[in-house]
Chains A and B, each alone.
Chain A
Amino acid sequence: MTAPLLEISGLGKRFGGFVALDGIDLAVAEGERVGLIGPNGSGKSTLVNCICGTLTNEVGSVRFAGESMSGLQAHQRTHRGLARSFQLPRPFTSLTVAGNLRVPLVYTVNARRGTHLSNAEMDARCAELLQLVGLAEKADHFSRDLTQVEMRKLELARAMAAEPKLLIADEAMAGLSQAEVADIVALLIDLNKRGITIILIEHIMRAVMSFSQRLVVLVSGKKIADGKPDVVIANPEVERAYLGQ
């Protein structure tokens, strides 16, 4: 058996007296599609932040592609193939939509491959990514002029532009219409078929259920379930904590 792509063990994070994450163990194999759910404030985004280096975990370890991530800054982790979208969109407001996508191309893809993509190559790549998320017409608009929904799509496209091995999509679909949700799920499944491992954090259950091969549930900073989606959903503890009595 090969080692998992992402291996989290005993991860803990506190904010003052508040325990945000408590002894999280999670292994994600290469090529897997994992859904991560949990009520608001259960620690999902904190977990993402600890995986990606935005926050530093006090205890436990994160290993990615066989390498310990401790002590690595966020950009170094991105260079190694971890990419994430932010739950609240954080576009580079003074850049155009296409300009936003160029940042990971210039700073991650070039750095990783030691290449120097030409302007034409980068333009082509940006156009392709924007086409995928349905923002092609907005390429030359300033990202600050986008709607919230468009910003979420841009978040996803920017994470994809870094050509990650593992993509973590943090609520990329909030506010999207049913048809758009279906489009994004299809897009993520397609990416996954091309070899990208994906962790999806989402509240829209229909999306999570149709996407995930495996479902992980966080409640109050603890992992309470991990397994096949239909089994997890039927778990009475999950039902009580997350879906209500």
Chain B
Amino acid sequence: MTEATDRAALAATALAVLAVDPGGLGGLWLRARASALREALLGGLPAIGLPLRRISPAIVGTSLEGTPDLVALLAGRGLRPVAGVLDGPALLVLPMAERTPPATAARLAQALDAGRGLCLVALDEGIGPEERLPPALAERLGLVVDLDGIAATALPPPDPARIATARARLPQVATPVELCTATVAAAAALGIDSLRPPQQTLRAARALAALADRATVTADDLALAGALVLAARATRFPDAAPPAEADAPPPGEPAQAPEPGGGRMADAVLAAARAALPADALDRLGAGRGGRGAGGAGSGAARRGNRRGRPLPSRPGAPGSGARLDLVATLAAAAPWQRLRKGEGAAPLPLALRRQDFRLRRFEDRSDRLLIFVVDASGSAAVARLAEAKGAVEILLAAAYARRDHVALIAFRGAGADILLPPTRSLVQARRRLADLPGGGGTPLASGLVAARGLAQRARAQGMTPTLILLTDGRPNVRLDGTGARAAAQDEAMRLAATIRADGTDALVVDAGLRPHPWLATLGAAMGGRTLPLPRAEARGLSAAVAAALDG
């Protein structure tokens, strides 16, 4: 028995389990790129006996939820809804599922929750932990099968007669109480917080018992169900040693308080889940928690615009201001009105259009970047070096303009920080402001960071992706409240750096001092960004280095 045949067998089992209880289990999360084995698995889907519908991650709302049939309406056949793919029981197949936008994922998830007998097979072709099925969807799909890296082997097709028997059997299958406890304990040991997976495990175990034509779920059913449902959702490895042999749980691992009777079975589930963990699972652990910080699916990096990008449903509005008219949608909006308007004695045109009929195109665009320059204008900065830094910023601004980035400028000096330049694309304005940069006073770095963070958050709310560039040559010596105290000011700046990192804002620290200061390197690391020491840098070298760091 090799691992490959093992996992192929697991896939075949998953298919049979899904066929027994498609609505209850919600679906199958199939982690596999196109392969013969995947085709073999998909070839078995008709055995589930639901109408098969293939959908795309780019599916738009009207095809999901249905819409009135305008053609039939105009032809005088009355109002007939065109059914959306989410109406009624169906088996949906979603290829390239890792590319599903969060909003579509949430709608699919709602439909799966509604208990309409929908079942979804998501083909997750993602590579690496950051390309994954959206968590909202992954949560609803009970079964997980990973076929990556398995050489093609044949898959036994599901046996329709056996499935029919199992379906009839399913309502009578009983689950002993201690198995319930075991499932919960196993899920907890694998670090699975949500309560859906244990429920799905129990359902899968019941389907397995029904397939074996048993009236009661056994520990073996549960172990296999654990491998199908829990394994891939683990966020941590359970204890390697079986607790029966270990005297005490290892430090750092929360004691899982084995229930009487449930403990041993939980171990069986755990062992099965552990065996089913894919080889690269360690890298993937925790990836299912979703990207709270930097990286992730970049759901915030999408922006609605009206010029370019992927089309979104059109919206009513007046044409002009650069927006493009969606002709088909406009005609569709005007169509139902024609008879009424002709009655009003409208102009004898073939089509009676009104202002409210206009529909505008909208597109989803990759978000623009906002470069927030946080410039140290305190007295400690050598005048000449600051001038070079200004020159470098100007060069960067020019490049930023060419790349259609937005730029904001914050200067901190004396007792506080000022936003000298709100986010803009106007290079001229930016240049003038930077030329007038006043200097002198203390170094209130924390105030500068607070201002920058606020700006970054507002920018993110508008769909931009902020990047912070801190230009300084020394350590802070003024606190947030304007009082001077070097140690406290440093401490504040460091803590703020950590919050900026937690926000997921990209950051770059440029150390413009004569000698690179280790404290600034620490600060850069705390912000999760790089620190560039640039002693004796003239403007052009500085800008090149910053540009390289930004794009790299």
> Do these two chains interact?
no
